[in-house]
DNA sequence: AAGAGGATGAACT
DNA sequence: GTTCATCCTCTTG
């Protein structure tokens, strides 16, 4: 069943990032339904998180979506090519979001294959934040879509797929640059032994932070 | 008005 | 391991 708005408006974005594992992301683009089990997430939390676009509560046209009441999508273009999908969480005025980094394909696998221009059902179909959005035809046009509304072309369901807390691997987020302490925060969560998650943990040996 | 750079992925060597 | 595709957003002048 559809996940209600109250799931998203909770204040702890780290908890929501973990709770989203096992939930099912659904897109119905052009009458074609695709869906996937969320198997990897990352939390982003303004104002103190330098990795967050809304670091120090910086409001711009782009970040405005993140400040809204939880339960909507935040989709933006990365490197000019990839559309990255986030779930906005928390109260109105709090810029918190969960990046979905990978899903396990459920419905519409053949459509996903053609969109990704590959011929087999293999992890590279959806095991990255820019990959599953392509497979599910999610673009920045879907920014601010209501995910708690079953009529929305993108929404999230609870299909009673349980992920025990000891099945969740935790580690630093992917793609952090020179952002000091924020890069070390273990705010990436993924399902242990699930082959549909993205690249392995990044190990940082450098300990010279500002 | 212009320029830098990015929460990535694919195709290279 | 390296390069680069590609474009929007934000900063600076």
Alpha carbon distance A12, A30 (integer Å) = 35
Q: Which residue has the higher pLDDT, A41 or A179?
A: A41
State pTM to two decimals: 0.94
Percentage of chain A exceeding pLDDT 90? 90
Residue nearest B6, CA–C1′ metric: A79
Q: In Å, what is the separation between the CA of A129 and the C1' of B8?
A: 8
Contact A89, A13 (CB under 8 A): yes
The predicted structure's pLDDT at residue A83: 98
Q: In Å, what is the separation between the CA of A179 and the C1' of B6?
A: 13
The residues close to strand C, meaning Cβ under 7 A, are A 53, 58, 60-63, 76-77, 79-81, 140
Label residue A199 by pLDDT band (50, 70, 90). Answer: confident
Beta strands in A135-194 (DSSP E): 154-157, 168-171, 188-191
Q: Is the pLDDT of residue A210 over 60?
A: no
DSSP reduced 3-state for A138: coil
Q: Which of residues 120-139 of A touch strand B (CB under 7 A)?
A: 124, 128-131
Q: In Å, what is the separation between the CA of A166 and the C1' of C6?
A: 40
Label residue A208 by pLDDT band (50, 70, 90). Answer: very low
Chain B positions within 7 A of any protein Cβ atom are 5-10
Average pLDDT over every residue of A125-141 = 98
Alpha carbon distance A126, A109 (integer Å) = 10
The nucleotide closest to A98 (CA, C1' atoms)? B7
User: What is the average pLDDT value for chain A, to the nearest integer?
Assistant: 94
Strand B–CB A117 distance below 7 A:
no
The predicted structure's pLDDT at residue A177: 83
Label residue A200 by pLDDT band (50, 70, 90). Answer: confident
Of A138, A137, A135, residue with least CA distance to A109: A135
């Amino acid at each position: 069943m559809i996940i209600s708005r109250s799931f998203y408006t909770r204040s702890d974005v780290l908890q929501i990032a973990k709770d989203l594992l096992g939930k099912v992301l659904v897109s119905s683009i052009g009458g074609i339904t695709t869906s996937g089990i969320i198997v990897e997430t990352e939390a982003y939390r303004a104002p103190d998180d330098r990795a967050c676009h809304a670091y120090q509560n910086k409001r711009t046209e782009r970040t405005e979506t993140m400040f809204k009441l939880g339960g909507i999508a935040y989709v933006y273009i990365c490197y000019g090519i990839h559309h990255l999908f986030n779930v906005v969480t928390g109260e109105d005025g709090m810029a918190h979001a969960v990046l979905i980094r990978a899903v396990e394909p459920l419905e519409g696998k053949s459509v996903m294959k053609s969109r990704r221009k590959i011929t087999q059902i293999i992890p590279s179909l959806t095991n990255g934040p820019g990959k599953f959005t392509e497979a599910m035809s999610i673009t920045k046009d879907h920014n601010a879509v209501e995910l708690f509304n079953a009529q929305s072309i993108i929404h999230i369901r609870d299909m009673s797929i349980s992920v025990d807390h000891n099945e969740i691997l935790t580690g630093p987020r992917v793609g952090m640059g020179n952002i000091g302490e924020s890069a070390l925060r273990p705010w990436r969560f993924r399902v242990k032994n699930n082959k549909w998650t993205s690249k392995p943990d990044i190990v940082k040996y450098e300990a010279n932070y500002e």
